[in-house]
Chains A and B, each alone.
Chain A
Amino acid sequence: MVSSVSQHQSMVKQPVVNPASLTNADMKEECNLKPNTLKNKLMSAYQKTTSAFIEYPVKGLTGSKKSNFYEFLSMGIVPYLVGSATLMAVFNGASKHFADNFAVKAAKRYGAGNKAALGVLFWGIAKALSKPLISTPVKLATGIDTEMSYERHIYSDPKLNLKHPIHEYEQHKVMESHDFPRYDMMYGEKLSALNKKGEKLPHNYLFDKIAKKNGLGEDLPASDTEVKPIIKDVISRSNTAKSISSYLWAAVGVMFAVQKPWDNFFNALSKSSWKQYRPAADVGFAGKIAGKTVNTAKNLYRISESFVRNFGKASKSLYNDRAGKVFLGIAALSSILGAVNTIYGAKTAVGQHKNVFDKKDKITVQ
């Protein structure tokens, strides 16, 4: 087992390697925790999206035995993005052909495709940004980080003896499953990898912390056993809250995108608003290049300024709108209630999941 993996591993780096020269250090673990940084998140999303568009369809269409449920779910991004593009095409197609119907209608329809694009963008952003509204307070209050993520690394079958073996990666959350949370990723041995100082953390390091935070006490002989039911409880409650509230925020994102002030932004974005660069007659080639660059930078600055300005105006417009205010309120309330309910669950789970036995007594089951 060890040799086959290391042999395969070697193929990535150099075609011919003496297996005997490989050490344990050359081997990768199958699953590794990843720090929750923005960079990691973006990289994960990028990896997942590109795989969903290229790798998984190929595997799926050929009916590969290695196609799994994770890949099927990941491919959900394909209809989301393709569908959004189609939606924009439909709107823009319509506005072009109906433009001479009624002036008012035309004005309203103009930019419907742009607004759809903005709607898709804000839908995604609002959905993503709303999740920390639940997970951050939960983490602060209970010590349980529901967003802890790891990468699963799958090696291609060494028996195939591929010259360029394909590595596969899956992006997972430790607590994505309520039924089977990856508790193994939460032990000190795994966590140590994240520790920048390189310290080795105790086996139950994280469970101890969670137990203490949730009032189970310190120095427990088996804090992991004590804490696991609480984690399950938190997963159920926080996922429920995230499901409902993130979609409500996503809806608010769409409402935000249809606000009037964005018309100004689309106007600023339009080709006709692009300020042309007109070099004077005596400007040389290098001067022209420099002038064009400066001009482009100026235009980009103008556009981003317009974005920021209209972002503010659109926020105001949504907030000043009665219906907008109501939906903003509902979304905010769903986040607050969701977080409070999750924290409440963790704090009160102590009694419910308490072992019927007193751990300090020795008990023999006959």
Chain B
Amino acid sequence: MGNNLIHNYLNNMNDVQSQSMAKKNERSYFGVPSVSSTIESFDIESDKLIKPLDGKGHLVNGDLVHMPKEFLRDTVYTTKALVDGARGKANDHQLGKLNDLGLKLSGVAIAAYLMTKKATPKTKAMEFIGFGAFLASMSLWPKLALELPARIIHGFNFRKQYIDEQGRKKYVSQDPNYIPFDLYKGDKKSEDLDVIGDRLGIKRDIPNRHEAVKEQMRKISVQNNTLWMLTAGIATPLMTALACNKAEPYVGKFAEKYSNKKANAQIDKADAYMNGNMNVQQQKEYESKVLKIHSADGKVQKTPTEGLVSSLKGKVIQTEHIVKLSDTLADGFDAEMKDAAREDIENLIGGKKYIAGSSSADKLAEQIHSAISSKDASIAQRLTKEQISAAASQGMVRGAVRDLLISVGADVIDPSGTYENVSKNFKCQEVSELDFFKVTEETKNMSPADRLAHNIKSIIMKVNNSNPAEDFIPGMSSLEGGNRELKAQIDAKLSSGADAIARNFYEGGLAISEESKRELKTSIGAFYKESVPASSSSKALAKTISGIVEADTKNSRGYVLTEKAADAIVNASRQIMKFGALDRVLSDAAHFKVEKAAETVVANNWSDVAETFIKELNISDKELEVASKDKAYSNKLLAQKLQQVCSDEESYKTFIKNLAEKMVDLDEKMDAPNSGSNGRMMSKLESGISKNCQDAGNALEGLGMTSMKDRILSTRNSKYGTNMGSLMSSKIGRLHSRVNGVHSSYMRLLEAAEFFHRAHGYESEVAANGGNVTAEIARKYGFSDNAEMNGKVISKAKELLLDAHTNEFYTKMGVANPQFFETVMWSTYRPNEGNVWNANWNKSTEDTIKILDSVKSGSDSTLSPRRVFEGVERKPLGQKLKEHMNQLYNSLGSIERGVLETGRENLKVGGVSPADARACERFDLLGKTVTDFFHDTIKQKANSKKWMKIFAPILAATYGVTVLAQFFFGKKDSDIKA
């Protein structure tokens, strides 16, 4: 083995030194730095050894203060990694970071995509929150379940990060074969192997203590990292789900506010548009952007009907075309609307017509001729097929010309009856003798169609100014002198009509009305009479021929979509498009405000009230669990808890006040306008719906679409209301029914509480009085002075308040004694003296009313709560309770009892007329039973609790096992452990 490099170096040391000294002088001339300084300092004898510089690698301070800085550094690093990667210069660490970036990008992409699939802003937001929670859980779990316990148990942070020479940030323990222990320089306690050794419990007096410490750290790190991988899969999704579960209500509140503002703006804009409170620019924008009935450049959007109409216009169509047309016109509406559309279109087009033409004339002639031949050959010789066909053709064209004259008279000249005489002249023109097929010198070179058109025009448009008697239609020549414009219109119509007749005749699509088709029979009949001498057999044959013609006119029939009808249908389709567009905007808003669906104002408020109700009743977890599965137990539990909470003055007061505060929120959210706007949103919505229906209905009527108008806006009134059964009334009815139903359900909760409270007060005072009812006690609590009766009334009334549906009122709860039922009604719903509904109420109820009256609007503590659909803008809640009780008393207490006639007060509030309340209004007035309300809420609550109960313990157990396992980590040998 020869000398190695070091030997070489040391041996040559002197040479190098002398050489470089020699070169020094030359080189310094160029100012190049010499190596002499290094060499001079290299002195083995002294302590001036060449030492490597300190490394740049260091441990990262992971505390909160340094987090923003580290975050920024990481972001810059990843960005640079992306650039380097794309330029082919990224190292492995950078490529690893790009993998993380890809993962995040993909998460954002998925969340963004799923967002587009979600209907409500809340669910949209939850997609991103879900992804964020997932990322957070991924990084939180190792921190909380591994890093933190490990620091406490073992005394060091195995997830410490370091930045190496090349600026790459890594976990110290990620590669157990390469843990940078050299960076533990002892600057801090957490970076001092001696301190860590002490914390790990490594004996102080063992040889190579640092090595033992390092090995212990390595081992624990590997164990913890493995544990992390094993537990993350269970913990991360659970943490995410639980976090989302907790976040949902908060997101819901924000989302509801956002959607409510949007709905209010929709209502405001639709209102402004329909009432003409927009300038032209705004209107155009609204039509193109929101309604989408105009394109951005102001062109009217083509409706599907329009395309269909233009393909059918002027053609013979059959019933299926009409059905298709009406289905397209009323697309998106119910079957009744489609039927109405069909009715209207049929009316516009008129009945079916006889469809004729030159080829059908030939066919008819052949039939007639063969019929004659089979009966009487001698007669058959007298006439040819061609002659019969010519006669038939004359008849067909005459009929069509007659129709043309009538329609020009009625539609062009005299739509409003101004030129009555002129139009009459058109209608009276006789066409039976006219020859429309003659060939003259002038016309012999024309095509048959052109000749026919020319002939028709030359006959029916004939005007002689010098001799008006020669006018084909009397009065036309004088019109030329008088009203040129009208004359021009008539001429245009006649001319185009003549062209159309000629064209349709040769194309086989000539439509002739029921009335005018007799011209055909007349023409053929006249020709037959002329050609065949009268005899008994010829007479019989004439009948046969007449039958054949009759059959032909019956068999080949169809509709013709005239230009006028086509225009009307197209216009109607535009009206309906606009109506539908506005209706969608308003229905969206209505849906968000009142519908029974996820995330609507009503649904959210309902769950708020339900939540408060359950909370105030103090239901234990155990009770919740059992009650959710057993309705009978749930009913019992409700009665018992309600009794409990209403027996104590303070708890009763808190109970109804807290409930009331949630309840009034509903009307506030439904009715309050956006800032900068005004009015009551629900009333605006209602009038918007009604205005849209009215506008559309009237426009359709103007176009002759009366059935559709009736469907949208029936004028049928009954004693129960106006426009019964129309789209408008069902839309508005739904709105009212939803609001009334929820209002009543809320009121019923208060009524039940009020009665439980009142009954308890009564019972305790009677008990204190030795079981005797004094007149004073009776008056104070709204009961009679019969103690025994009152006992029965109270138990029946409680049952009724908690559990009765309308049918219980119809059957009077099976109570045989009408007097008793009336007493129950009175004690429950109108506990006052005298017959005036709003005076002299008992003190207990009045107290409750006062408490409720003190509840103010959520947005302004000086104002009473808002009240939707009740005439006035605001109304104290106590007042409302009183009214509602009275309404119940009147309309439910009086069912088929004729009590109204006995002089009970009849109260009319908020569109519900108790006197003639129909079944559905009675239903809305009674609301949901308290037992159902309670049980449904309990079920919901138990379900979400159950979900939590299943998954939260799994997460907790995973956490527990993860922490516990760490106590067994590390070497336990007694030769290193103290």
- Give residues in A with beta carbon < 8 Å to B: 56-57, 59-64, 67-69, 72, 75-76, 78-87, 90, 93-94, 97-98, 100-102, 104-105, 177-180, 232-234, 236-237, 239-240, 243-244, 246-248, 250-252, 254-255, 258, 321-324, 327, 330, 341, 345, 349
Q: Does B943 contact A (CB under 8 A)?
A: yes
Do A104 and B598 touch across chains, with their CB atoms under 8 A apart? yes
Do A250 and B106 touch across chains, with their CB atoms under 8 A apart? yes
Complex A-B: 12 CB contacts under 8 Å: A63-B970, A64-B222, A67-B226, A78-B232, A80-B233, A94-B241, A98-B943, A100-B943, A177-B92, A179-B91, A254-B110, A321-B116
Do B106 and A102 touch across chains, with their CB atoms under 8 A apart? no
Do B113 and A63 touch across chains, with their CB atoms under 8 A apart? no
Cβ < 8 Å to A, chain B residues 94-109? 95, 98-99, 101-103, 105-107, 109
Q: Which residues of B contact A179 (CB under 8 A)?
A: 91-92
> A178 to B87, alpha carbons, bound, how many Å?
13
Query: What residue in chain A is nearest B100 (Cβ atoms)?
Result: A243
Q: Within the complex, what minimum Cβ distance (angstroms) separates B913 from chain A?
A: 32
Q: Within the complex, what minimum Cβ distance (angstroms) separates A66 from chain B?
A: 9
Do A63 and B220 touch across chains, with their CB atoms under 8 A apart? yes
Q: Does B770 contact A (CB under 8 A)?
A: no
> A94 to B102, alpha carbons, bound, how many Å?
30
B88, B223, B233, B947: which contacts A82 (Cβ < 8 A)? B233
Do A57 and B226 touch across chains, with their CB atoms under 8 A apart? yes
Do B226 and A56 touch across chains, with their CB atoms under 8 A apart? yes
Q: Within the complex, what minimum Cβ distance (angstroms) separates A82 from chain B?
A: 3
B355-394 interface code vs A (CB 8 A; 1 in, 0 out)? 0000000000000000000000000000000000000000
Q: Which residues of B contact A324 (CB under 8 A)?
A: 113
Q: Which residues of B contact A239 (CB under 8 A)?
A: 85, 90, 95, 98
Q: Which residues of B contact A84 (CB under 8 A)?
A: 233
Q: Which residues of A contact B233 (CB under 8 A)?
A: 78-86
> A311 to B110, alpha carbons, bound, how many Å?
19
Q: Within the complex, what minimum Cβ distance (angstroms) separates B217 from chain A?
A: 11
Do A323 and B229 touch across chains, with their CB atoms under 8 A apart? no
Q: Does B939 contact A (CB under 8 A)?
A: yes
Do A72 and B234 touch across chains, with their CB atoms under 8 A apart? no
Do A78 and B947 touch across chains, with their CB atoms under 8 A apart? no
Q: Within the complex, what minimum Cβ distance (angstroms) separates B24 from chain A?
A: 19
- Give residues in B with beta carbon < 8 Å to A: 82, 84-92, 95, 98-99, 101-103, 105-107, 109-110, 112-114, 116-117, 174-178, 218-220, 222-223, 225-227, 229-230, 232-234, 236-238, 241, 596-598, 603, 939-940, 943-944, 946-947, 950-951, 965, 969-971
Q: Which residues of B contact A67 (CB under 8 A)?
A: 176, 222, 226
Q: Within the complex, what minimum Cβ distance (angstroms) separates B84 from chain A?
A: 7
> A78 to B112, alpha carbons, bound, how many Å?
27
Q: With A78-B233, A79-B233, A240-B95 known to touch, is A100 a contact of B88 (CB < 8 Å)? A: no
Query: What residue in chain B is nearest A76 (Cβ atoms)?
Result: B229
Q: Within the complex, what minimum Cβ distance (angstroms) separates A255 from chain B?
A: 5
A68, A72, A86, A327: which contacts B113 (Cβ < 8 A)? A327
Q: Which residues of B contact A101 (CB under 8 A)?
A: 598, 940
Q: Within the complex, what minimum Cβ distance (angstroms) separates B977 from chain A?
A: 14
Do A61 and B223 touch across chains, with their CB atoms under 8 A apart? yes
Q: Which residues of A contact B87 (CB under 8 A)?
A: 236-237, 345
> A79 to B241, alpha carbons, bound, how many Å?
16
Do A237 and B943 touch across chains, with their CB atoms under 8 A apart? no
Q: Which residues of B contact A330 (CB under 8 A)?
A: 109
B225, B597, B947: which contacts A97 (Cβ < 8 A)? B947
Q: With A78-B233, A86-B238, A236-B95 known to touch, is A243 a contact of B101 (CB < 8 Å)? A: yes
**8 closest A-B pairs (Cβ-Cβ)?**
A60-B226, A82-B233, A240-B85, A247-B102, A233-B88, A63-B219, A247-B106, A79-B233
> A349 to B109, alpha carbons, bound, how many Å?
34
Among B225, B229, B970, max chain A CB count under 10 A is at B229
B84, B106, B227, B947: which contacts A248 (Cβ < 8 A)? B106
Q: Within the complex, what minimum Cβ distance (angstroms) separates B940 from chain A?
A: 7
Do B950 and A93 touch across chains, with their CB atoms under 8 A apart? yes
> A61 to B219, alpha carbons, bound, how many Å?
9
Q: With A60-B222, A97-B943, A236-B85 known to touch, is A68 a contact of B177 (CB < 8 Å)? A: yes
Do B944 and A97 touch across chains, with their CB atoms under 8 A apart? yes
